[in-house]
Structure 1
């Protein structure tokens, strides 16, 4: 029995675990060159794929229910999506350059062991959201359970594909979106004989009330994407070139989300003509069409469109939850869990949390999920400050996987108290508004202040973390005026230029203002300072 247990334990250990198996395995190290397969086109297409979900079709419905017109909501969405796209690019930059994910990037700011908390937070949220999103499409009935299990098995089958090879799924999803959008638009416009009254309706609110609503929803649309912004490195690490992600995010994300929202608005508007009431959810709209006119043509149309929406849901589950969860769980227990094992574990846990119960009886819990951007803003602000101001673009990659005192990111027994001071203070400032959003009665001033929870969280955590680093300087801090970001990090074993020379970048000379080429050799690989 003992020999069997020992053999099983050996089988469970991930191949490629480093000197410290509780901090390192090959999956979470910088990606190899062959796995950097995503191009600028991939990232641009990715956002069309990610946005084209059922929820994306009616993303503006809540804002319109408050009295804003369709086009005012679209303007709020455009502003919010562009603002958060800037955060995508900025916070994902280390992933695109060093080809590491969100959990490893956390170690540079929170410490090699302190990173456990933000990583664990993100992993739990990914698992819960994965279960909730899958549970939305089925009821706790025999038919609903069968559909859920089939969908769950389909997701698990997709997870066998290596992530660098998944870009084909992105391109297929774009095609699926185009077909479903054209199909829904053509069908509903034909049934309605026009676009309906919604698009021509004006605003029902005015003055300061309208102004506050616009402010609220600009930041709400931005904050709704806070998860993508916080773990942007998980996706940008697959870039062939660091700059491939810039236009793909800055242009692709706002354009994709806006196009989906506009199509969703038009389709919803036609429902007022067809049924005499507004139906936002496209799945519910298909159900109404089939229920009220049960013909062979309608059945076929509903089947194929529902199939396209099912693929959209599958894509969202894999890319928005399974991949981030896989990265996070692998970083928490790298000795035994690879990214693929982490993704499968996410699916198992998502099933076990009973998402139907959460959706049917825990409205406060769902509001909590929607308010979680407050915590993510604090983490994101710290990561931005650490990379752009404290480290000046330089990450000592080997030290990110070292648990000893000699590591630059060991700080105080592996924890960086500076990051936790910034995190706790930032969360405390926004906590009253968070309670108000959860249903606790708070003054109107606090409610309105919470509209700015995401930008306030970014600014506060950034500023407090910077102040803490100025008061108590860490071991690794790059002098102001010097920029130490490499052009593109390459694993030492894959570098063909010269043994050990893996970091090539530019440094801004504070005296002359000119850029000088710098290289980091074997000393940099050991985490030591490199002179230019």
Structure 2
């Protein structure tokens, strides 16, 4: 009995606590980070969203984006066309999904419950948790490479340190130390709640943005122009069975699919908006300006560096090491490299924290609301980097990384179901109280699962999974129709799942899909919002912080 009492006492101790006066009840479906956000917690203005989307652009991956399309054999104008069209679609899809968070102030974790059922929502959650674990580990490793460059800029001998790992370890001591430093420097920021991200976003945008522009200007000044890369024309191999049109289509699919995870959980962050216009101004302007500009700056810098060093360096850490001659350069060169590498590293840090750790924390909270909130979930996601062992993935399993990058095959159908359900079937109306209970909930469906969503999801990825398999296997002569479907996987998955889900709901209708609560029971809405939605405003709580709304 003593052991039983100790276990019960420990259980009570580790369970999350919430302020009941602020509707922060903690139970099997709810905790402080899952409830609809009240006005006083919605602190993000337009710059928060500008910064949030900028950190998804001011990074190594977006800098290298043009190289992917040039490697296919496409020309520079064609590569930039893919980037622009891709950004247009990213803005469209992300705004489509984020609107639920702007209106009802709930995140993806709760949003998926009204489409999949309360228990069925675990299917998309588990997919995202797996992705968050792996991408967090990979991002920590990439950030570690930048930290290693920073250390080399301070202590040049670091680049020449002895490798103490054996031949079975697919990395070096130099790389591993950078990973450890990056991981430990990132950890304290996990205690920051999303409401407090404005200052880090400001630092990232100013530091990394200024650094990128300065790097491009320096390269152009030293090279006195750009190299042959800038005028590269279309050079598709004669042996290729794909023309430029299909390669452009593949590039657009890859561009949108690369941010599919961020599109899926857009409402996790849009719910923090203090006003809808702040999201629209910040997200749209950043997605276009930062997203397109960074790729352009990376292209120009790589082209100018080609003229300086005689080779094309797309990976910033590699080019930075060359710039300071692997640590043997002048103190001025090392200082400049440190500034640039540190800016990239800090951006990678917050991109990883927001896009993977915090998102993973929210998703884990959806599985274990009694015990996990954003902070605990983010820590779990971060610790999982040691279990995932990214040095094994990066240096050995290139095929696995290709599969990971193509996971939008499974995410696009989820986005299609979410959009169809919210806009076409529910007419943008949600009954919030029924998202947090199983008894008498209109979102419980059959034993907590909406079979319509599962069937529609499978129909969305079934036509494109074959193309993914043959592409990853690098089949020299794959069936052409399979690859063509795969090159359009995002759009195919989105529209097929949306159409099938709509048809199933017409054939097997769910009653009262467009119902809402009569009263604002969570204190979610301002008086003006409540009037616009058509619910009775809640009684003001004297302990709630005063919020002035425009």
TM, length-normalised to structure 2: 0.86
* Structure 1 residue aligned with 2:100: 94
Cα separation, 2, equivalents of 1:302 and 1:84: 32
Cα separation, 2, equivalents of 1:121 and 1:278: 37
* CA shift for structure 1 position 303: 1.6
Indicate yes or no: 2:213 matched with 1:182: yes
* Structure 1 residue aligned with 2:492: 456
505 and 206 in structure 1: CA distance in 2 versus 1, 3 angstrom threshold? farther
Cα contact 2:116–2:450 (8 A) shared by 1: yes
* CA shift for structure 1 position 416: 0.3
Cα contact 2:520–2:536 (8 A) shared by 1: no
Indicate yes or no: 2:408 matched with 1:373: yes
* Structure 2 residue aligned with 1:48: 54
Cα contact 1:422–1:461 (8 A) shared by 2: yes
Indicate yes or no: 2:36 matched with 1:9: no
Cα contact 1:32–1:491 (8 A) shared by 2: no
Residues 74-96 of structure 1, C-alpha deviations (whole Å, 9 max, x = no match): 11110011112100001110011
Matches within 5 A, 1:67-86: 67-86=73-92
Indicate yes or no: 2:525 matched with 1:504: no
Which deviates more from structure 2 when the two are superposed, residues 6-15 or residues 318-327? Answer: 6-15
Which deviates more from structure 2 when the two are superposed, residues 140-149 or residues 395-404? Answer: 140-149
Residue in structure 2 matching 1:163, options 175, 190, 194: 194
Which deviates more from structure 2 when the two are superposed, residues 256-265 or residues 30-39? Answer: 30-39
Cα contact 2:101–2:268 (8 A) shared by 1: yes
* CA shift for structure 1 position 413: 0.7
Residue in structure 2 matching 1:24, options 30, 33, 40: 30
Cα separation, 2, equivalents of 1:306 and 1:340: 28
Cα contact 2:523–2:537 (8 A) shared by 1: no
* Structure 2 residue aligned with 1:146: 177
Cα separation, 2, equivalents of 1:37 and 1:55: 29
* Structure 2 residue aligned with 1:512: none
Matches within 5 A, 1:61-140: 61-136=67-142, 137-138=144-145, 140=171
* CA shift for structure 1 position 231: 0.9
Cα separation, 1, equivalents of 2:283 and 2:524: 29
* CA shift for structure 1 position 340: 0.9
| SS of residue in 2 equivalent to 1:28 | coil
Which blocks of at least 5 consecutive residues in structure 2 are unaligned?
146-169, 539-550
* Structure 2 residue aligned with 1:447: 483
Cα contact 1:226–1:373 (8 A) shared by 2: yes
Indicate yes or no: 2:310 matched with 1:304: no
* Structure 2 residue aligned with 1:57: 63
Residue in structure 2 matching 1:359, options 382, 388, 394: 394
Indicate yes or no: 2:458 matched with 1:424: yes
* Structure 2 residue aligned with 1:340: 375
| SS of residue in 1 equivalent to 2:56 | helix
119 and 143 in structure 1: CA distance in 2 versus 1, 3 angstrom threshold? same
Cα contact 2:39–2:525 (8 A) shared by 1: no
Which blocks of at least 5 consecutive residues in structure 1 are unaligned?
507-517, 523-532
| SS of residue in 1 equivalent to 2:356 | helix
Residue in structure 1 matching 2:300, options 266, 277, 292: 266
Cα contact 1:123–1:325 (8 A) shared by 2: yes
402 and 142 in structure 1: CA distance in 2 versus 1, 3 angstrom threshold? same
* CA shift for structure 1 position 521: 7.0
Cα separation, 1, equivalents of 2:473 and 2:60: 27
* CA shift for structure 1 position 308: 1.2
Which deviates more from structure 2 when the two are superposed, residues 148-157 or residues 117-126? Answer: 148-157
Which deviates more from structure 2 when the two are superposed, residues 212-221 or residues 277-286? Answer: 212-221
TM, length-normalised to structure 1: 0.89
* CA shift for structure 1 position 447: 0.6
Cα separation, 2, equivalents of 1:174 and 1:502: 32
Indicate yes or no: 2:519 matched with 1:519: no
493 and 66 in structure 1: CA distance in 2 versus 1, 3 angstrom threshold? closer
* CA shift for structure 1 position 519: 3.1
* Structure 2 residue aligned with 1:529: none
Residue in structure 2 matching 1:217, options 230, 251, 267: 251
Which deviates more from structure 2 when the two are superposed, residues 300-309 or residues 440-449? Answer: 440-449
Indicate yes or no: 2:72 matched with 1:36: no
* CA shift for structure 1 position 44: 2.5
* Structure 2 residue aligned with 1:286: 320
9 and 275 in structure 1: CA distance in 2 versus 1, 3 angstrom threshold? same
Indicate yes or no: 2:440 matched with 1:401: no
Cα separation, 1, equivalents of 2:537 and 2:448: 26
Indicate yes or no: 2:271 matched with 1:240: no
Residue in structure 1 matching 2:422, options 387, 402, 422: 387
* Structure 1 residue aligned with 2:161: none
Cα contact 2:28–2:368 (8 A) shared by 1: yes
Cα contact 2:39–2:526 (8 A) shared by 1: no
Cα separation, 1, equivalents of 2:25 and 2:186: 34
* CA shift for structure 1 position 205: 4.0
* CA shift for structure 1 position 440: 5.9
* CA shift for structure 1 position 494: 6.3
* Structure 1 residue aligned with 2:204: 173
Residues 394-444 of structure 1, C-alpha deviations (whole Å, 9 max, x = no match): 11111111122x101000010001101101111212221121222163312
* Structure 2 residue aligned with 1:434: 468
Cα separation, 1, equivalents of 2:302 and 2:517: 48
Q: How many residues align?
A: 501
* Structure 2 residue aligned with 1:511: none
Cα separation, 2, equivalents of 1:494 and 1:398: 11
* CA shift for structure 1 position 203: 2.2
* CA shift for structure 1 position 121: 0.8
305 and 20 in structure 1: CA distance in 2 versus 1, 3 angstrom threshold? closer
* CA shift for structure 1 position 193: 2.5
What is the root-mean-square deviation of aligned Cα atoms in Å?
A: 2.4
